[in-house]
């Protein structure tokens, strides 16, 4: 028996040893965490880069020694997510020169050459959620022996054609095509200056796991045509003769531009330490166009769907309307946007409660050589209503790449723009590659508006997209915009960026959700409460995300504060935070710290609350003298208090201050809005806030006093005035909304921790048009 026991013990030890072959990405279990840590608050526009010059793997240490002959640190990929749990199978495809591991797990062979490509932007066995991924890396040591050459990417199990990319001064940027599940990629480097004894002498392998997201709403892609449109776009005569400006080519180019948006945004979100989150597209099984070879052979693939939508307007009507927009009264400025929105609404026919996110390409925009204007074009984006939409013209479409193989050529094509046939948009598209920047980048700017981003002090939402090319190329050609030679090497620090405030909005946007995110809360409202010692308590059921500070006269936000932990992007956001006026002023430069300023505070549901004058909000005007010398505080007010003959009103609830007073019921007077509320007590007395209008007799909600039920707060529908109100109690009961349950937006008024309701303050004209709670400690 002792022999069998010993054999059993050895068998267990052997089993544990064999299973250690599965990589866990250096033990880091955080999704998409950057190797650099972002601070809690920011007042600058550029976050730290995610690429940190540290050595974290033995392979990189070996490379460092072999290239430079010393321990000089070299760049390494940031830690990300571990390898997926999958069955141990030998059904993995391996290229020549590599054999399958004995245990069948997916392993990355050690580099065989100091010139084997190193991937720096995404670590081995990472998880991503987009079909086309931007990858950045190096060959050799660019500080010691920079080298030029070509990088060839062999995609997973050869199910996508190989692609080639330039290596400039040892730097490369590539776009890799992924399929759902594990992707095993091979990167081969070749150079005329380096001899190659075999096909894999300068090769490296990289594993990336692609998990498509289908539980978040997609960004729909639409090409809008006039009802009599020929389905063509502006192009040089020789291209038009070859049919390179037809509707089919427009679909290819628009689809490729959309995948570039996605690749750029996904990488940017990772650099902002928010994981590799991005918006997704609705995809369908169709003839693939992401590869030039697919377009020639008709290979079927699952790729982004382009909706072809016809307007009920003619090309001439769109042209005339656009001229009226550019030269007519301000009321005509959004005419094309409304036409596009009507056509999109008719096409999708969304449910009233359904939100659609739609990017529209106006195919019939044309360069008018006589008037020197682009007709049928508008660059607009809006996140209002249930159709969130961005529109942009097709006047730069000729310069777009139509597939992966054309990305680098498109962004390095110095052919001058011939204004006899093509527009030099804003005099910043003087060459083909600059035209591609303007068209693809400016359309992305409008998509930013679609996702709720305002203009920023820097980044895409300013005009940073004029250097969008640097994201996808390692070298920049001559620029007609700056009349200077471009960058010799385009590093991540030189690239176009999303501003940190844009990334914060994306982090909480429903289109950017990750499976690891906590469930979203239906209540997106946020409330502010001025209390003692200049403190402001901020509460939100969906969490308090960030706030923006604006000095009087500022149109753009230059200073902000965020309340999420960058190292834990998927953790819950705090539901209550405390700031002080002094702390907020410290965010401002010294010369502006005494000026009037306002704040906009955002919840984890992207609800927004504005305080126009923080100094006034925290002053004695927000304080209320309560009985027995106590102090009460008015929370942020809902409604604009702008009805004719509106007057201030305020009540302090007797039941809060008189022990013998017991609140038994609340009667709500309402019609299409809130007219008033009356609080009834056990001794047959009552207090009225507002007036007894609307429905005769109102609706009464009775409290269960035998069980000790008390008033906890209110859920309010409010916009310009108070549309409706719902009573919330300590026993979790809700009265239902009295008034207009669909009016305005929803707001939950419940005192912060440590405080209780003391009364109600507001204004009332023909009905209640302003309301806030008075709280006390």
Which of the residues are catalytic?
446
Q: Alpha-carbon distance 161 to 176, whole Å?
A: 11
Q: Closest Cα partner for 363 from 333, 342, 392? A: 392
DSSP state, residue 197:
S
User: CA 260 to CA 506: how far, in whole Å?
Assistant: 17
Residues 6+ apart with CB under 8 A from 492: 49, 50, 51, 121, 136, 271
393 is written with which tokens?
Answer: 């013209």
For the sheet containing 535-539, what is the strand order?
A: 527-530, 535-539, 576-580
For residue 155, the 8-state DSSP code is: P
The CA distance from 106 to 94, in Å, is 10
Query: Which 3 state secondary structure label does DSSP give 542?
Result: coil
Beta bridge partners of 126: 208
Angle at CA 305, nearest 5°, toward 303 and 306?
A: 135
- State the angle between helix axes of 500-507 and 247-271 in degrees (0 to 180), rounded to the nearest 10: 100
Residue 196 CA to residue 233 CA, distance in Å, equals 46
158-164 — which CB contacts under 8 Å span 24+ positions?
Answer: 158/93, 160/291, 161/291, 161/292, 161/293, 161/294, 163/291, 163/404, 163/405, 164/405
Helix boundaries (H) for 518-664 = 581-586, 614-617, 654-657
Cα–Cα distance, 134 to 204 (Å, whole number): 17
> Residue 208 half-sphere exposure, CB side, CA atoms within 13 Å?
29
Cα–Cα distance for residue pair 639/769, rounded to 1 Å: 5
Q: Using CA atoms, how far apart are residues 153 and 188, in angstroms rounded to an integer?
A: 7
Return all residues near 230 (Cβ < 8 A) that are at least 6 apart: none
* DSSP structure class, residue 114: T
Q: Are 733 and 711 in contact (CB under 8 A)?
A: no
Angle made by CA atoms 305, 406, 431, in degrees to the nearest 5: 110
* Element housing 362 (H / E): strand 356-362
**Considering only CA atoms, which of 384, 476, 394 is closest in space to residue 433?**
476
With a CB cutoff of 8 Å and minimum separation 6, the contacts of 302 are: 283, 284, 285, 286
Count Cβ neighbours within 10 Å for each residue of 372-393 and write b for 16 or more, e otherwise: eebbbbbbbbbbeeebbbbbbb
Alpha carbon separation from 667 to 54, 254, 431, 578, 638 (Å, rounded): 67, 58, 70, 34, 20
């Amino acid at each position: 028996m002792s022999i069998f026991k010993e054999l059993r013990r050895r068998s267990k030890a052997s089993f544990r040893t064999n299973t250690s072959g599965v990589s866990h990405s250096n033990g880091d279990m955080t999704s998409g965490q950057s190797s650099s840590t972002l601070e809690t608050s920011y007042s600058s526009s550029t976050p730290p880069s995610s690429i940190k010059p540290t050595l974290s793997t033995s392979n990189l240490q070996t490379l460092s020694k072999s290239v430079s002959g010393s321990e000089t640190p070299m760049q390494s990929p940031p830690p990300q997510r571990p390898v997926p749990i999958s069955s141990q199978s030998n059904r993995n495809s391996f290229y020549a020169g590599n054999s399958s591991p004995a245990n069948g797990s997916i392993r990355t062979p050690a580099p065989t050459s100091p010139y084997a490509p190193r991937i720096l932007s995404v670590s081995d066995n990472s998880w991503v959620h987009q079909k086309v991924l931007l990858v950045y890396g190096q060959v050799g040591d660019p500080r010691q022996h920079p080298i030029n050459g070509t990088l060839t990417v062999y995609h997973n199990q050869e199910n996508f054609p190989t692609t080639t990319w330039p290596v400039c001064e040892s730097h490369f940027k590539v776009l890799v095509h992924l399929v759902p599940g594990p992707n095993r990629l091979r990167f081969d480097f070749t150079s005329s200056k380096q001899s190659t004894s075999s096909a894999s002498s300068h090769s490296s392998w990289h594993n990336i796991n692609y998990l498509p997201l289908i539980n978040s709403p997609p960004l729909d892609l639409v090409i809008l045509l006039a009802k009599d449109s020929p389905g063509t776009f502006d192009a040089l005569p020789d291209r038009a003769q070859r049919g390179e400006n037809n509707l089919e080519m427009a679909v290819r180019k628009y689809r490729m531009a959309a995948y570039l948006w996605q690749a750029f945004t996904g990488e940017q979100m990772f650099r902002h330490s928010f994981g590799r989150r991005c918006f997704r597209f609705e995809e369908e099984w169709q003839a693939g166009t992401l590869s030039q070879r697919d377009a020639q052979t008709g290979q079927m693939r699952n790729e982004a769907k382009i909706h072809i939508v016809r307007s009920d307007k003619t090309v001439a009507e769109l042209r005339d309307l656009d001229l009226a927009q550019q030269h007519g009264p301000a009321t005509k400025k959004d005419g094309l946007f409304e036409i596009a929105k009507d056509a999109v609404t008719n096409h999708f026919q969304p449910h009233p409660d359904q939100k659609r996110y739609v990017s529209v390409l106006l195919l019939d925009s044309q360069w008018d050589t006589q008037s020197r204007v682009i007709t049928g074009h508008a660059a607009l984006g809006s996140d209002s209503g249930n159709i969130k939409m961005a529109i942009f013209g097709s006047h730069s479409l000729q310069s777009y790449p139509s597939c992966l193989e054309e990305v680098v050529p498109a962004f390095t094509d110095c052919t001058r723009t011939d204004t006899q046939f093509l527009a030099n948009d804003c005099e910043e598209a003087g060459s083909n590659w600059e035209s591609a920047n303007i068209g693809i980048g400016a359309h992305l700017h409008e998509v930013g508006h679609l996702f709720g981003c305002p203009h920023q002090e820097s980044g895409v939402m300013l005009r940073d997209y004029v250097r969008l090319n640097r994201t996808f190329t390692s070298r920049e050609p001559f620029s007609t915009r700056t009349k200077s030679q471009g960058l010799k090497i385009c590093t991540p620090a030189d690239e176009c960026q999303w501003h940190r405030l844009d990334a914060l909005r994306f982090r909480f946007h429903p289109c950017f959700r990750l499976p690891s995110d906590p469930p979203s809360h239906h209540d997106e409202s946020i409330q502010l409460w001025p209390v003692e010692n200049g403190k402001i308590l901020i509460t939100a059921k969906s969490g308090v995300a960030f706030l923006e500070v604006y000095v009087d006269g500022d149109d753009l936000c230059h200073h902000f504060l965020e309340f999420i932990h960058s190292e834990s992007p998927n953790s819950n956001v705090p539901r209550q935070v405390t700031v002080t006026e002094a702390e907020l002023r410290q965010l401002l430069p010294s010369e502006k710290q005494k000026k009037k300023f306002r704040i906009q505070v955002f919840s984890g549901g992207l609800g927004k609350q504005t305080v126009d004058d923080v100094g006034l909000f925290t002053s004695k005007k927000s304080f209320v003298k309560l009985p027995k010398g106590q102090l009460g505080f008015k929370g942020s007010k809902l409604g604009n208090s702008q009805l004719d003959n509106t007057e201030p009103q305020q009540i302090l609830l007797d039941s809060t201050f008189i022990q013998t007073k017991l609140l038994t019921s609340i009667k709500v007077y309402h019609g299409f809005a809130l007219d008033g509320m009356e609080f009834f007590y056990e001794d047959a007395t009552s207090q009225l806030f507002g007036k007894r209008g609307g429905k005769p007799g109102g609706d009464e909600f009775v409290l269960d006093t035998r069980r000790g039920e008390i008033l906890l707060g209110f859920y309010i529908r409010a916009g310009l005035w108070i549309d409706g109100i719902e009573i919330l109690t300590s026993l979790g009961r809700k009265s239902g909304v009295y008034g207009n349950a669909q009016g305005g937006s929803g707001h939950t008024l419940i005192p912060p921790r440590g405080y209780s309701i003391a009364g109600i303050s507001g204004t009332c004209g023909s009905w209640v048009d302003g309301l806030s709670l008075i709280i006390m400690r």
